[in-house]
Amino acid sequence: MELITLKSPREQEAMRRAGRVTAQARALAGSMVRPGVTTKEIDDAVRKFIRSKGGQPSFLGYGGFSGSACISVNEVVIHGIPSRRVVLKEGDIVSIDVGALIDGFHGDCAATYPCGAISEEARRLIDVTRQSFWEGFQFAKAGKRVSDISHAVQTYVEKHGYSVVRDFVGHGVGTRLHEAPEVPNFGPAGHGVRLQPGMAIAVEPMVCAGDWHVEVLKDGWTTVSADGSLTAHYENTILITESGPEITTVTEDGAYD
């Protein structure tokens, strides 16, 4: 079993710096979502911004991934590859997942953005997905268990008629982009690792409007809902502290997306 790393006060400060740049990159990307923009244009802006802050995009080259951000449109749940051929259009919903490596530590966050005017159902899906994160966040406290977060996310999502992806989960974050423990978005409460001060985790609900099953396309990355239903994604990096959970992926003006 992989060991969980507890971050020292100095390392927590490094996590905050990385998280701030990551959140700023997410906000920049979200501000670019409009009809006629390509996902490659957004990706280029994310890469340039992170490097301008002295960091490196966490995703670029990770496992062979070619982009600096994962940009996933409509039925694409996660790992959408930025491309000049993917041109955003009115009514799309666009999930943008960003990571930044700053001073040896990673930040990781995501959000789903509307492209122009979107349907009421698409807006509801985005809102439920975002709120499900906050439902889980309430349990990201020392002494709670990982599955307390998982159960809260699943319960909220399913109460609203949607489903949570089960093939992909949240994770620990630190000097590596993906560390222990895994943080699923489903399961009964009261199980799994007990949260401790110094842990850092990425909680990331991935939600389908229809069935929870997904398929990975032939490119080995792009992951879509198996039934073609709309999907949304929301994520922040959380430090577990003595005084409660702290989100590191927040901009200087206090914005989470």
| Model confidence pTM above 0.85 | yes
Phi and psi at 107, nearest 5°, equal -115, 155
Q: Which of 243, 153, 166, 241 is nearest to 201 (CA)?
A: 241
**pLDDT at site 151:** 98
* Per-residue pLDDT tens digits for 189-226: 999 999 999 999 999 999 999 999 999 999 999 999 99
Question: Is residue 126 domain-resident?
Answer: yes
CATH of the domain at 228: 3.90.230.10
Query: What residues of the chain score a pLDDT lower than 70?
Result: 1
Question: In angstroms, how far is the first alpha carbon of the chain from the final one?
Answer: 34
Question: Is residue 169 domain-resident?
Answer: yes
Question: Is residue 65 domain-resident?
Answer: yes
**CB of 174 within 8 A of CB of 240?**
no
Q: How many structural domains are present in the chain?
A: 1
**pLDDT at site 232:** 99
Range(s) of the domain holding residue 106: 9-247
Question: Is residue 210 domain-resident?
Answer: yes
Which helix or strand (DSSP H or E) is residue 92 part of?
Answer: none
Question: Is residue 255 domain-resident?
Answer: no
Question: Is residue 1 domain-resident?
Answer: no
**pLDDT at site 1:** 58
Question: Is residue 125 domain-resident?
Answer: yes
Which helix or strand (DSSP H or E) is residue 156 part of?
Answer: helix 146-159
Question: Is residue 108 domain-resident?
Answer: yes
